[in-house]
Amino acid sequence: MPGPPNKKQKRQDYRQALKENGTTNMPKKKFYRQRAHANPFSDHRLTYPVRPDAMDWSTFFPAFTEAETETSSPKKLTKDIEVVDIGCGFGGLLVALSPVMPDTLLVGMEIRSQVAEFVQDRIKALRAKDPEQNSYQNIACLRANTMKFLPNFFRKGQLSKLFICFPDPHFKQRKHKARIVSTTLNSEYAYALRPGGIVYTITDVENLHEWMVQHFEAHPSFERVPEEEQDADPCVEVMRTETEEGKKVERNKGQKFVALYRRMKDPEW
């Protein structure tokens, strides 16, 4: 006789039942657990468009999809995605920002497959709870590796905000090349952000905070947002308090280091 199902089988059975039943209950994290670290240089067998116009966002934002026409392939959205949460984790920031920015489309990009699936199921459940109000229709989660494919998804100057919340610190020096902030990656963020757009960074690791500050301040396309303006930004308070990592740091009475950087206008050459 077969023995009792193992943890992997329990997770699969739970998630399959969640999909079949269409329940409005929130998914349980214990059935989506995955190791905290993922190697961004590995082949994760990801699907990505060859260019931004080839991406079909209609399944992620059905409430913002244009009426189907014979010539629209892929289906177009009625407005552009403007906010990206890189490494969105379990989606706390997305869910909290949704009612704060109800007329803006936000997408979380997460490399870990099971964590991305949790956020997707979480959004489906939130939408199903209150279908008449169209709540949480403006957020979505996509499994993606932003270190490799960010320009495949977004046009030049498309984004107004980009969040980097509690990224993997990669403490060992030989692992620093895997940090989500670097000279090369900052140029990609500058490409995707419009002039005046903001990069939001937060971490509980002071060394990593100093690293991000150093690299953004050295980049000619960014200038640091003054503290008075930073503290007045409502997104900063949400970023401090609503992410899962932020709540854990709060429980442990740790420090949070915040820095915002504005995309400057390109010179006239």
- Among all residues, which ones are annotated catalytic? 168
Q: Give the per-residue SS3 of the chain.
A: CCCCCCHHHHHHHHHHHHHHHCCCCCCCHHHCCCCCCCCCCCCCCCCCCCCHHHCCCCCCCHHHECCCCCCCCCCCECCCEEEEEECCCCCHHHHHHHHHCCCCEEEEEECCHHHHHHHHHHHHHHHHHCHHHCCCCCEEEEECCHHHHHHHHCCCCCEEEEEEECCCCCCCHHHHHHCCCCHHHHHHHHHHEEEEEEEEEEECCHHHHHHHHHHHHCCCCEEECCHHHHHHCHHHHHHHHCCHHHHHHHHCCCCCEEEEEEECCCCCC
